[in-house]
Each structure stands twice: as C-alpha cells, then as structure tokens.
Amino acid sequence: MAKGAGMIHPNMATMLAVVTTDAAVEPAVLDAALRHAAELSFNSISIDGDTSTNDTLLVMANGVAGTPPIVGLSTPDGAVFLEGLTALCQRLAQAIVRDGEGATRFVTITVRGARTPADAKLAAMTIAKSPLVKTALYGADPNWGRVLCAIGYSGADVDPGRVLLHFGGLKVLEHGLPLPFDERAASDRLNVPEVAVDADLGLGTGEATVWTCDFSEDYVKINAEYRT
C-alpha cells in the first residue's frame, strides 16, 4: 500500500509505502532488492518536482510461506523475488501518479539513446518536472520545443542535431528539427488519459522510463487553498 498526492519527486518526497511478503529473505538481500526496486519505481516518478521532509518505503518479510530463505538476488528464487518486488513497486508508484493533485493525464516519458542510463534518467526526469511541459500536456499541445528545451538544460550529454521525438507514437522532431506533422492529429494523441512521450538522443544505449502527470487549474487551486 502507498500514499501520496503532491510534493512527489525523487527521492520519494511526501510518500508513505509499505510492502509485505510471506517469503523468507535475508535482511541484506531484502535491503538490496528494495533499493533496486525503489530506483525503478518510486524514484522514477514526479507529480510536481517538489519534495518534503517526510518519505518512507518499508518492506517486511515474515517467512511464514515456509520456503527456503532467499540468500542472494542472483539465485533463481532471488531473481524471481526481485522481479516481483520491482513490478509491485512500479504499480504502486504509478498509482500515486494517477492520483496526483489535479492530474488529468498519466504520462510515460521514455528517453533512449543516451550516453549512459544516468543521462537518460536525468533527461527524462527534467522533462517530467518541467511546468511548461506539464501545462502543454494538460492543453494537449504538441509543443516539441518545450520538451527539447528541457532535454537541453537537463545536464545530460545532448547533441540537438541527433534528437528524435515522438508524441503518442507520432514523430514530431528528427535530427533536432520539427517535422511537418499534423498538429490536430498530434493534439488528439495527447488529448487522452494516458500519454506517451518518447525521445531518442542518438548518442548511445542508455535508457530510462519515468512517470508523471500534467498540471491543471485544480493543482493550482488545491495548493493555493492548502491552508486557507
């Protein structure tokens, strides 16, 4: 189970999550598994790019299943456990995004072709927390310039002339230049509850996927009236 609504951004921010399992797992192995799962789930989401002092993710294993203890993630049982824990954490993290304050769209952002996975994650998270990108997504505006701008200032290694960008599977930018795409068709692909933004930096094999939501008037209203 997990709780979160706003002020959500790595590292986890205003979020409380508890995962339980009946498996028997050595404490050090359980710790390593959770850190791996968190990086690909709760540390790969953003509601508003803001954080707070309160965040917790716990995993508890009671061993009542009676199976042999998992002593390593490289063992067959360990690999299966790690896969299951990661999938569950991703499902919970995505549920937090879907329940974001004022959210109307669930957005999957994938950056490929980066020099390193770290660069891919940096670029993807910068897109995810950009207010200009998030408001454009709320308006179903295929504003490729805002996405390219966020990639550019992300700090990742970028060559604008190599960047390829898709909105909802529709190619809108290639070699850093806009294509003559159908604006209405592109807008229609963004005017849906679940949106995909895909960027290829054309520099390597690094890849990362993060999840975010749009910014609506309701987000402003909720936070403007937070105390009043």
Residue with tokens 């359980």, as numbered in its chain: 30
C-alpha–C-alpha distance, residues 160 and 125, integer Å: 18
CB-based contact 93:9 (threshold 8 Å):
no
- 45-46 and 206-213 as β-strands: parallel, antiparallel, unpaired? parallel
Evaluate the omega torsion of the peptide bond into residue 11 and state whether it is cis, within 30 degrees of 0. Answer: yes
Residue 222: its H or E element: helix 217-224
Give 2's contacts (C-beta < 8 A, 6+ positions apart): 15, 16, 17, 18, 92, 93, 95, 96
| Annotated catalytic residue 14 | yes
The single-letter DSSP state of residue 161 is: G
14, 86, 126, 212: which one is catalytic?
Answer: 14
Active site residues: 14
